[in-house]
């Protein structure tokens, strides 16, 4: 606690007891606010820090282009592939590193924003629309990683999210003539 807060003034036995109680739970998540310190539990991990407020971001993206995800060391790369039959695309159009979207199925300008509570979409390989929060829980994504989680939208809906890929309605397929390749890269 001292390393995270920088000092133990204002912290007493009761504060330590609350942190130990949070750590001793069999399962789940939680948060303890202490003077100058926030302790967050998510799944089997705990994070001690100064606390971070949610900082929403939204920006229009350029194609082709690279857009930095604020508060992270990630950038989202958008690349247009106009003749997929002559490209070096793998046989499948989505893996954990890249999502491929049929450009002709998109409507309106593309925006990159962070995940918001209540967001839902229909990712490839999932039988129906699902809340992104449910995907986070299934993938065991800690709560502190979720606040700046990138989501790509067109004027109507979510078309791609980090790790979970393209939405079924706009995913590239064998007959797609223009493909938008979406990938994440670490920034320097």
pLDDT for 93 equals: 43
- Residues in CB range of 128: below 8 A, 6 or more apart: 122
pLDDT for 131 equals: 98
Residues 73-131: tens digit of each pLDDT: 899 999 999 865 555 554 444 444 578 999 999 999 999 999 999 999 999 999 999 99
Chain mean position to CA 46: 19
Give the pLDDT mean for 40-67: 84
- Residues in CB range of 153: below 8 A, 6 or more apart: 110, 111, 113, 159
- Residues in CB range of 187: below 8 A, 6 or more apart: 68, 73, 74, 75
pLDDT for 85 equals: 59
Helix (H/G/I), strand (E/B), else coil: 102: strand
CA angle 162, 146, 72 (to 5 degrees): 75
pLDDT for 30 equals: 84
pLDDT for 53 equals: 59
- Supply φ then ψ for residue 117, to 5 degrees: -55, 135
pTM for the full predicted model = 0.73
- pLDDT above 70 covers a percentage of the chain that reads 88
User: pLDDT grade, residue 168 (50/70/90)?
Assistant: very high
pLDDT for 10 equals: 78
Residues 19-39: tens digit of each pLDDT: 888 888 887 788 788 787 788
Task: For the chain, give the mean pLDDT.
Answer: 86
pLDDT for 7 equals: 72
- Residues in CB range of 57: below 8 A, 6 or more apart: 69, 70, 71, 112, 113, 114, 148
């Amino acid at each position: 606690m001292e390393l995270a807060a920088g000092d133990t003034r204002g912290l007493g036995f009761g504060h330590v007891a609350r942190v130990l109680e949070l750590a001793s739970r069999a399962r789940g998540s939680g948060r303890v606010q202490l003077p100058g310190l926030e302790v967050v539990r998510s799944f089997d991990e705990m994070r001690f820090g100064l606390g971070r407020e949610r900082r929403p971001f939204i920006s229009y993206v350029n194609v082709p282009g690279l857009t930095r995800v604020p508060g992270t060391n990630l950038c989202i790369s958008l690349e247009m592939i106009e003749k997929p039959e002559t490209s070096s695309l793998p046989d499948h159009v989505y893996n954990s590193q890249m999502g491929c979207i049929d450009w002709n199925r998109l409507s309106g300008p593309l925006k990159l924003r962070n995940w918001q509570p209540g967001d839902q979409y229909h990712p490839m390989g999932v039988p129906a629309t699902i809340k992104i929060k449910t995907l986070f829980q299934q993938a065991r994504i800690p709560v502190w990683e979720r606040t700046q989680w990138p989501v790509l939208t067109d004027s109507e809906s979510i078309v791609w999210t980090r790790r979970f890929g393209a939405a079924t309605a706009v995913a590239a397929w064998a007959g797609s003539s223009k493909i938008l390749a979406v990938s994440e890269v670490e920034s320097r």
